Structure 1
Amino acid sequence: MSEAELVELARGIHERVITLDTHDDINAGNFTAERNYTTDLPTQVTLPKMEEGGLDVAWFIVYTGQGELDEAGFQRAYDQAIAKFDGIHRLTEEIAPDRIGLALTSDDVRRLVSEGKLVAMIGVENGYPIGMDISRVKEFHDRGARYMSLAHNGHSQLADSNTGEAINEFLHGGLSDLGREVIAEMNRWGIMIDVSHPSKEANLEAMALSEAPVIASHSTARAMFNHSRNLDDEQLFAIRDNGGVVQTVAFRSYLAGDKHAEYSRARQDILMTVAEEMDFDFAGADGPGRAFSQAVSQLPEAERDAYMARYEEVQAAADARIEAEADQLAPPVDVADFVDHIDYMVDLIGIDHVGISSDFDGGGGVDGWDDASETFNVTLELVRRGYTEEEIGKIWSGNLLRVLDEVQAVAAEIQAREG
């Protein structure tokens, strides 16, 4: 098959299958009447980018960072979560209902796609905003949430986080008592349990307790790169045995962290060389970073504006050099590295348990799939690897929607059993 024939085959498959990305972070400020996803904002996901790349379904994420485990912290997180829920509803119901609709079931997804519309779904990253009020599980369900993780980066009131591994410091030794109740409540209302961020012990306990399959909404294989955010083979086998699915994430430092670090160093070296050639001194540190930002923020306003204008000139000049030189010095993490993880997990746990996610606007993206407009390149790489149209359909959306169906069927059974 020639390259042109391969691309033509891939385009046909890409148009026929439903493409679904389970993790796209959002800022509530991008869901207003004045500023929203109908225009091509400098975010990795917008409606124009989805349309250009053929991304049918985006799971918009109600994320809250981990704060203090007290009433004030819970309230702040709840308020932030509601603002994001409201923003997603505003987009699909008021701003652009002719272009995108909110799906709550797999049937909704297929209906909206058949109508020629884009699809929004809602996931909750971090159960922290539930606070100590378990009734909020149903509230989040009623607001449209169809998956939720019990922790993020930092231990929540519900579960330990993977971040405890680095210092061997955990709060619960897995799930808390409330976390166990939340697992049962999520089963009751048909919310998929997301095991991407909690600790290994919390994840294994969640799978043992859950009556329904679970998902990892944005994770990769730890055997391929050793990072606490990645899932080791024991967890991958547990997800398979549970009937769940792992949504492989296009996150550079999880896919190939060493390769990404080399590429980042090459970029930094070029930037510093250009800065020296242009007689520009970085404030506070050797290059952009927290110390640089803090030093710049302390400058008088007029001086700060002039300094940042000069910095932007240096960065633009460096970007031109980086594009020409960095790839040769140290190749970036790319779509092939991403699909290597898909291959590994398909070989290990089977085609029915692997899916796709980007973590766009939350740090995700690889060379070749760095925003939604480049989504076709993933399908193209899968075709290059010899995946069939049926298999590609499963990986892009079939497996995830199958789990959603099963989770909702279990919920119906529980509710019937309880009368």
Structure 2
Amino acid sequence: MWKNVVIVFIIFFTHSFCAKVDFPGRAVLDNFPLIDGHNDLPWNIFLNAKNHLEKCKIEADLTKDELFGSKNCVSCVTDLPRLKKGKLGAQFWAAYVDCTKSKDPVLDTLEQIDVIKRMVRKYPNDLKFTTTADGILEAFKEKKIASLIGVEGGHSIDNHLSVLRAFYDLGVRYLTLTHTCNLDWADSSLVDDPKSTHKKGNLNDFGKKIVLEMNRLGMLVDLSHVSKNIMWDVLNVTRSPIIFSHSSAKAIYSHSRNVDDDVLLKVKLNGGIVMVNFFSQFISRGNATIKDVTDHINHIADIAGIDHVGIGSDFDGVPSYPKGLEDTSKYPDLFDLLREQNKTKWTVENLEKLAGRNFIRVFKTNEKIRDDLTKEEPVENP
């Protein structure tokens, strides 16, 4: 009898003690990599230094840099000291070219892929180029920031599936189907703007071929920037989980770049992920703060489920950031705030899902489907 009483006491004491144990949300970032779906530093290197890396010394704090300091570049908030302080574990660097200005989008995109690879090569002690889910985890163990490439905008393949395949061979692991330009095969989110007069279209047969070929390759289909019609069409066609690399919740702030609740429910069925954007003008009507970002994260977690939300900051790609999330050193504050807001909801397990476990699951599922489709022939252009 006394033995049973002692056992009950130990169980009660242990439970009571553990219930009182608390931890800051940022603590999880030491145990699992924080994966950011979108950063535009390569575009700023192009704009400010014409891709000459010697002019962009990201090993230093660039706050007061002549070219990349906040005084001369309001969107420039990324460098290695701030990334380390921000406990970032993996970054998708965007290979982006302006669809309204580029005369040769394929060549220009190759230049951006090249500058990303050269940047990673320049800092081997801090960055590690990878193309796989396991590669992200390996880099984290080595205390390096896993560096991956996403091409932002389907205009970059110039209607050639051969270019899509070549990009994959170069290490590109997602394609954002559109940017701000409408394409022959898919519309941009701008058509959903209340002021738009553009007739809304659907994903055409060539667009469907692109999605299916991305599935075959194992390239992630990114639906940030596309219209709602295209979101639905892709979700009905794709064989693999999709991503929104940098989008937020439309129910929290009604902007055409954000995702409606009915689409969030479809993302849940698809097994995909919405990686929340930090751009002030996408998350709040004005005076955006870090809390606005947590509102978007919590809403997506509530509607799509905790397994379908992640982080896609859009750092270095937009002109304003929320108070409290001004640069790449601030990620830990976001995780602290979520933990403070709801300790029951934001457990270690769920914070790790938000940080990167959800994305790793989506990435690995795409890789598995790719492996299952090895006997399928490449899709040909029409």
**Which structure 2 residues correspond to residues 12-27 of structure 1 after superposition, within 5 A?**
12-26=27-41, 27=43
Counterpart secondary structure, 1:61: strand
Distance 2:53 2:274 in 1: 35
The answer to whether 1:215 aligns with 2:258 is no
Q: CA deviation at 1:92?
A: 1.6
**In 2, Cα distance between the equivalents of 1:176 and 1:235?**
20
Q: Which residue is equivalent to 1:38?
A: 59
Aligned pair 1:190/2:199, yes or no? no
Which residue in the other structure is 2:14 paired with?
none
- Aligned partner of residue 220 in structure 1, secondary structure: coil
Residue 374 of structure 1 pairs with residue 333 of structure 2: no
CA distance in 1, matches of 2:270, 2:352: 21
Q: CA deviation at 1:40?
A: 2.5
Q: Distance in 1 between matches of 2:78 and 2:25?
A: 22
State the distance in 2 between where 1:182 and 1:169 align: 27
Aligned length: 336
User: Match for 1:118 among 145, 153, 160?
Assistant: 145
For residue 61 of structure 1, the aligned residue among 91, 94, 118 is: 94
User: Contact 1:358–1:365 (CA<8 Å) still a contact in 2?
Assistant: no
- Please tell me the residue identity of whatever aligns with 1:9: P
Q: Give the Å deviation of 1:171.
A: 6.5
Match for 1:111: what amino acid? E
SS at the partner of 1:370?
coil
Shift of 1:64: 2.0
Aligned twin of 1:397: 356
Q: What residue is the counterpart of 1:388 in the other structure?
A: 347
Match in the other structure for 1:202: 230
- Paired amino acid for 2:321: G
CA contact 1:155–1:171 (8 Å) conserved in 2: no
Q: Percent identity?
A: 29
Partner of 1:335: 290
Residue identity opposite 2:353 in structure 1? K
Q: Which residue of 1 aligns with 2:269?
A: 241
Shift of 1:60: 0.6
Aligned partners of 2:25 and 2:351 also within 8 Å: no
The one-character-per-residue Cα deviations of 1:342-392 (angstroms, maximum 9, x if unpaired) are: 111111111001111111011163211111111210110121122011100
> 8 Å contact 2:200–2:229 — kept in the other structure?
no
Counterpart for residue 179 of structure 1: 207
CA displacement 1:300-330 (0-9 Å, x = unmatched): xxxxxxxxxxxxxxxxxxxxxxxxxxxxxxx
SS of structure 2 residue aligned to 1:66:
coil
3-state DSSP of counterpart to 1:246: strand
Unaligned 5+ runs, structure 2: 1-16, 63-68, 70-75
Q: Tell me how far apart the structure 2 counterparts of residues 378 and 11 of structure 1 sit (CA, whole Å).
A: 8
Q: Is the contact between residue 194 and residue 214 of structure 1 (CA under 8 Å) also seen in structure 2?
A: yes
Between 38-47 and 341-350, report the one with greater CA deviation. 38-47
* Alignment match, 1:289: none
The alpha carbon displacement at 1:152 in A equals 1.0
Q: Which amino acid aligns with 2:87?
A: G
Provide closer, same or farther for how the CA distance between residues 410 and 172 of structure 1 changes in structure 2, counting only shifts above 3 A. Answer: farther
Q: How far 1:253 moved relative to its partner?
A: 1.3
CA RMSD of aligned residues (A): 2.0
AA of the residue aligned to 1:416: K
Cα distance change on mapping 1:340 and 1:33 into 2, 3 Å: closer
Report the Cα offset of residue 170 of structure 1: 4.2
Match for 2:299 among 322, 325, 344?
344
* TM-aligned CA deviation for residue 56 of structure 1: 1.5
Written as runs of structure 1 = structure 2, the 5 A alignment for 1:74-89 is 76-89=104-117
Equivalent residue for 2:125? 98
Instruction: Indicate conservation of the 8 Å contact 2:215/2:238, yes or no.
Output: yes
Alignment of 1:294-305 (within 5 A): none
Give the TM-score normalised by the residue count of structure 1.
Answer: 0.76
Per-residue Cα deviation, 1:54-88 (whole angstroms, up to 9, x for no partner): 112121101122238xxxx5x52222211110011
Q: Considering fraction of residues, name the structure with more helix.
A: 1
Classify 1:190/1:339 alpha carbon distance in 2 versus 1 (closer, same or farther; 3 Å): same
The CA deviation at 1:136 is 0.9
Query: Partner of 1:229 in structure 2?
Result: 257
Corresponding position of 1:312 = none
Task: Give, as a single letter, the amino acid of the residue that structure 2 aligns with 1:118.
Answer: I
The aligned counterpart of 1:156 is 183
Alignment match, 1:307: none
Distance in 1 (CA, whole Å) between partners of 2:205 and 2:219 is 19
* 2:365 matches 1:410: no
Alpha-carbon shift at residue 417 of structure 1 (Å): 4.5
- Runs of 4+ in structure 1 displaced over 6 angstroms? none
Worse-matched range after superposition: 138-147 or 364-373: 364-373
